Amino acid sequence: MTTTADELREEVRRRYAQSARAVIEGTSSASCGGGSCCTDVEIDADADAAKFGEALYDADQRGDLPEAAALASLGCGNPIAVADLREGETVLDLGSGGGIDVILSAKRVGESGLAYGLDMTDEMLALARANASEAGARNAIFLKGVIEQVPLPAASVDVVISNCVINLSTDKAAVLTEIARVLKPGGRVGVSDVVAEDRLSPEQRAERGSYVGCIAGALSVGEYTAGLEAAGFENVSVEFTHEVADGLHGAIVKAVKTSRPSEQGLPVIQPAVSAGCC
């Protein structure tokens, strides 16, 4: 059965709300039926633990965080490790979840900087705000919204980060365009995401996992590169860090905003797959 974009977004929202409630209620870490939200439940949980979530942050970083922030880590990488954040900068985390990357960013940019987190899930926003308060991150600000329509002015951000969230969007061209809009000229992107090898078709990606499991909606290296260049970025790089499924990898995506976009469009992946995840 074909699943619509609105149905996929609602399935993602429900899944991450469930995860936040589990942490808030103290019933478990941020799992979604047996593993990280960014996996399908049939994947081995022990093997999955090294590919997603808090294990991708070093001990010093985890030690600076409230326990609930670490438990709520659901991503596929550590964008803070490559974002090269500087004192006084303004950072935006797309799909900020329990706030782990926003809190770490807030500490890195210092009190003269700002760290915004954007999330569409009320439960995750409540958890993130509580975590930021516990961590004493007064320069961490959490906004409700979707990553296709960022509620910030144009040219207001120095760095955009994200951790295994862009692959969940059903309109990635809109996401990349919004990233370009909110970044200042010369602004930087440092994103962790699941990325497919160019050899895999959208149908082959769907065979390897669900959309809300961060697999079926993954862009390929070529699609990511073309999409960022079309949105107005240069110096684009996509570096695989670890394999999460056959032909799909956790990856670090980096780019720098140029002055104006090209005419090239983003290759579209149709989300014509079931969202059945949990």
Phi-psi region of 149 (alpha: psi -120 to 50; beta: other; left: phi over 0): beta
Q: Edge-to-edge strands of the sheet including 157-163? A: 140-144, 114-119, 90-94, 157-163, 183-196, 248-257, 233-245
Q: For the chain, which residues score pLDDT lower than 50? A: 1, 27, 29-37, 39-60, 62-63, 69-73, 261, 270-278
The pLDDT of residue 35 is: 40
The pLDDT of residue 137 is: 94
Quick one: CATH architecture of 5-257? Answer: 3-Layer(aba) Sandwich (3.40)
What is the reported pTM? Answer: 0.79
The pLDDT of residue 149 is: 96
The pLDDT of residue 268 is: 53
The pLDDT of residue 24 is: 63
The pLDDT of residue 4 is: 76
Q: Nearest 5°: phi and psi at 47?
A: -65, -35
